Structure 1
Amino acid sequence: MDMQDVIDLYTMAPLTFVDVITEKITSETLLTSYNTMRDAGGLIFPVTGTAKILIDGTYYVLDKGKIIHVGPNLNIQRIVANNTKFNYAVIHFKLPDESIAEYPLYNSHFAIEVEDNMKLMNMLQQLIQNYLIRSNLSFLQSKALFLNILEEIILLVKMMDYQYKKKNISVIMEYMQENFAKNITVLDIASQFNIERRKLTYIFEKRIGVSPTAYLTDLRIQKSKLLLRTSGLSIKEIAERVGYMDYFYFSRVFKKETGLSPTHFRKHMN
């Protein structure tokens, strides 16, 4: 498949937004077979979990960092992998009949690699929430969000070139995930991989959609939320366990990111 054809489909074809749906399936759902919409294509976005999907005889492993384009009226069978829950969303869109011959890729199915892009997923969540409002204005806004999502996908596709492939961001992300509790900074990460800090930030934002500082903060806040819900550790102990030596600074960051102080978050969760 020529990526230029994908770019042309999402930038040149007169695609129109139809709707967005979400669904959850579990490991107990061993096999589900259905056809895609008869008169609309779709983009399948994994949200959590992993699934093996069979589309007209072709297997795809669907997890974060991958989107599947499906054309109209294609047979899909799903098998959940790794005994996990699989949550996903599908954006449906149409191409006028008179344009299908010009863009045959619309009727096909293929995978799009976008890595684990937080910006794209945030846009998807915004579209889902906006579409649920069910008003004329929200539908108009949903159509605009759909076009923004296509634009973001194209930007990500274009970035999957040789220059950025050489920069193994996945290794850096793995390092951050394993060491965020050690009070590391972006400068420490840049030094670890012998990359100038501004260059690391530029590459990270292009590939992941957020700055390394934002990604590091998100790792720490998500872990602290888990500890607040499931442990009896003090707020100070939790702050230290996620890489914040200053309890007061941790509290400010936590409130900025969640809207609640750590203490109020714990009470709310309980």
Structure 2
Amino acid sequence: MQLEDQLHLWYQAAVKIMDVRHVKMTSGESLRAYRLPSNAFIFALQGGASIALDDRDYAVQKFHLLHGGKGSYLDIKLTEDIFEYYLVLYKASIPLPTMRDKLKYIDKSNPFYMQYSFLPRLPMLLYQILEQLEREWNSASKLAKLHAKTLLYSFIYELMQQLQDQNVTMVPGEPVTQAIRFMHEHYAESITLERLAEVLECSPRQVTRMFKNQTSVSPIDYLIRYRMEKAKKLLLDTDATLQQIAAGVGYQDVYFFSRTFKKHTGIAPVHFKENHQTSLHSLYNPFRMSISSIALRKREGHTIHEDNNHSQYRSEGVLPMYRSSKPSIALVLLLSLTLFVTACASSSSPAGDKGQAPASTSSSTEQAASERVLKDALGHEVKVPANPQRVIASYLEDHLVALGVKPVAQWSINKGTTSVQNYLQKDLNGIPTIPFDLPFEAVMSFKPDLIIMDSAETVAGDKYDQYSKIAPTYTVGGEKNNDWRQELLTIGEVLNKSKEAKQALETYDNKAKDAKEKLQKAIGTQKAAALWVTAKAVYVVSEKLSSGDVLYKDLGLNVPSIVQEASKTGTANWLPLSMEKLATLDADYLFIVNSKGVSKEEILKDPVWAGIPAVKKGQVYDFDNNSSWLYSGTIANSQMIDDVLKSVVK
């Protein structure tokens, strides 16, 4: 970016002072490395020091001036007995709607984040402004604070003038720092690995390698976690709709956002807030490694608040914030033991009599014949065992049970029997649980011979590579809502149980057909709706998703107009229903999933329910959290059909 372009951006920018400090360091005193909380100017007054900004070192003497961007690592080591300097921390924002022609250049060469160091030809002009700026900023007078702001603009003007006269070269900051900063500022936009690579002017592979080397996670993994942290804050601190929150953190598809949120937190976003308020959120562990634990490894980092002055980060009191995330000792030992046992087994098989081959040894041809190569939804060619015996298919257990397969571990939010899929426990009782986010160590401990994942999001970043090193890993669906029927057929093919999958569907379809005929005779053209009542809100099931698919498609029940209206705009399985809409719900039968913790009668005491036809007729039926109404699959749906028939058909 040319200096003229940068001057234009400075002209457009709104600049805010964060802090101004006059710092004196003496021999024996050190300032440990920390991340700059905002953009910063450093102006040396006397003495000398070696100053590192990210991976660049500068030998600084009297009147030297440096600039670094927010997030850069600052490390100061004295090279003389004293080092005295001014530190000016500031923020700058640009009204982007007026700068669309500059956006590409802002991403690549944002002048507020550029690094440069030079010795001004006229340092006293800068010194005089900074001296007055520091005095006014630290005054209690509001008028003095206003004057400080005008002085900052004067300082920037004089600085730009001297930069232009001396033709100073500016360079971008350290690549990973730039990438993190870019994601923090643009997380609400569409960010791809290719876009990051373009911003950093390197290849996608280089971006991934550099990022993982310094943070232990991929850029996309980091972005997803950062977005989920932002989403949780919006859910707890605002009354924004789910659609608004999804868009606010970079997801245009609210259903995909909901799936992503649930995969990372173990709970749907619509329930996160109420559970948090009732202290139930303590059951959920959003990340194995939180955003605050992901950081650059090069220098020691420390907690810093944007309004704090950096003098508190000297060696007397340092509070570590970042820690490198390396494979745990348990994981390393487990991997080593696995390799050792495998090696021993392959090299020490007992020899048979008279030179015969060991009975347990199979030829490579026989081994190949026992495997099948299947292409998953993401295009991976997966070598699947002919008859897998130790399967992990988290959140897909309904299909496994329908196929007569017991997994080696079952999905759970918290390791315990209170947070599993309760409606399946007749078949899964005694099966160990595994956390919903499938930590690599936990997966490996079960020694699976096949891992089945339900969507692309569950293997985002480098997760697929990690899981596939443990066992063959097959991804069933892409980013959109999977059709449960096709999901069952696909899993049937993977498990070499296509016949059983088709039979399960046929049995279910026959049951649904028979139930449909009974319901037609019992209630005719009357309308029905399924509601989910929680402590803070009421949700109605979508017309074509989850239990709505069962009620309206499989059982042929008529759809209330309120349900039709909500389903046209909503993309989630369960859609929020305002009290005004609830009061006008035109349903003759209501099926309530009761998560409110009170009786059905207590719920219906609220006058808002009084005008609903189903309430007037006494045709309201409730089911607790042990029911299958919030899930999908032949077993979940069959249990729903049983619930409907038992309630309606006398």
TM superposition score normalised by structure 2: 0.23
* Partner Cα separation in structure 2 for residue 125 and residue 35 of structure 1: 25
Q: Aligned partners of 1:34 and 1:21: how far apart in 2? A: 16
Does residue 131 in structure 1 map to residue 137 in structure 2?
yes
Distance 1:27 1:6, change over 3 A: farther
Deviations 1:204-257 (A, max 9, x none): xxxxxxxxxxxxxxxxxxxxxxxxxxxxxxxxxxxxxxxxxxxxxxxxxxxxxx
Q: Quick one: higher RCO (CA 8 Å, sep 6+), 1 or 2?
A: 1
In the TM superposition, 1:136-215 aligns within 5 A as: 136-160=142-166
Q: Kindly indicate whether residue 78 of structure 2 is the aligned counterpart of residue 72 of structure 1.
A: no
Look up the match of 2:59. 61
Q: Do 1:11 and 1:151's aligned partners in 2 also have CA atoms closer than 8 Å?
A: no
- Return the offset for 1:43: 0.6
User: In 2 relative to 1, CA 8–65 (structure 1 residues): closer, same or farther, beyond 3 Å?
Assistant: farther
Residue-by-residue CA offset, 1:96-121 (whole Å, 9 max, x unaligned)? 27659536232232214413521210
| Match runs of 1:217-232 below 5 Å | none
CA distance in 1, matches of 2:118, 2:128: 18
Q: 1:133-185, CA deviations, whole angstroms, 9 ceiling, x for partnerless residues?
A: 12211100000000011111122222226xxxxxxxxxxxxxxxxxxxxxxxx
Pairing partner for 1:90 from 87, 93, 118: 87
Q: Residue 45 and residue 10 in structure 1: after superposition, are their counterparts in 2 closer, same or farther (change >3 A)?
A: farther
Distance 1:155 1:98, change over 3 A: closer
Q: Please say if residues 66 and 115 of structure 1, whose CA atoms lie closer than 8 Å, have aligned partners that are also in contact.
A: no
Question: d(CA) in 2 for partners of 1:64 and 1:4?
Answer: 29
1:49 positional shift: 1.0
Residue of structure 2 equivalent to 1:25: 25
AA at the equivalent of 2:28: E
Specify the code of the residue in structure 2 equivalent to 1:22: H
Is the Cα–Cα contact under 8 Å of residues 64 and 116 in structure 1 kept in the other structure?
A: no
Q: Please identify which structure carries the higher helix content.
A: 1
Relative to 1, partners in 2 of residues 1:125 and 1:31: Cα closer, same or farther, differing over 3 Å?
closer
**Correspondence for 2:16:** 16
Give the whole-Å Cα distance in 2 for the aligned partners of 1:60 and 1:154. Answer: 20
Aligned length: 158
Q: Distance in 1 between matches of 2:28 and 2:9?
A: 37
> Secondary structure in 2 aligned to 1:138?
helix
RMSD (Å) for aligned C-alpha atoms: 2.5
Question: Which residue type is aligned with residue 69 of structure 1?
Answer: H
Equivalent residue, structure 1, for 2:111: 105
DSSP 3-state at the match of 1:140: helix
Identify the residue that residue 43 of structure 1 maps to in structure 2: 41
SS of the counterpart of 2:27? Answer: coil
Q: Distance in 2 between matches of 1:55 and 1:7?
A: 23
Structure 1 segments unaligned to the other structure (5+ residues) = 162-270
Q: Does the Cα contact within 8 Å between 1:113 and 1:157 map onto a contact in 2?
A: no
Pick closer, same or farther for the CA change 1:157–1:107 going to 2, 3 Å: closer
Q: Contact 1:44–1:90 (CA<8 Å) still a contact in 2?
A: yes
Aligned pair in 2 of structure 1 residues 12, 130: CA closer, same or farther (>3 Å)?
same
Letter in 2 for 1:45: F
Counterpart residue type for residue 130 of structure 2: L
Q: Is the 2:44–2:62 Cα contact (8 Å) retained in structure 1?
A: yes
Larger radius of gyration: 2
Q: List runs of 5+ in structure 2 lacking aligned partners.
A: 97-101, 168-650
Alpha-carbon deviation of 1:64?
Answer: 2.7
- The aligned counterpart of 1:120 is 126
Moved more, 124-133 or 91-100: 91-100
Contact 2:13 2:94 (8 Å CA) reproduced: no
Report if aligned partners of 1:41, 1:94 keep a CA contact under 8 Å in 2: yes
**Residues 20/78 of structure 1: CA separation in 2 closer, same or farther (3 Å cut):** same
> Normalized against structure 1, the TM-score is what?
0.52
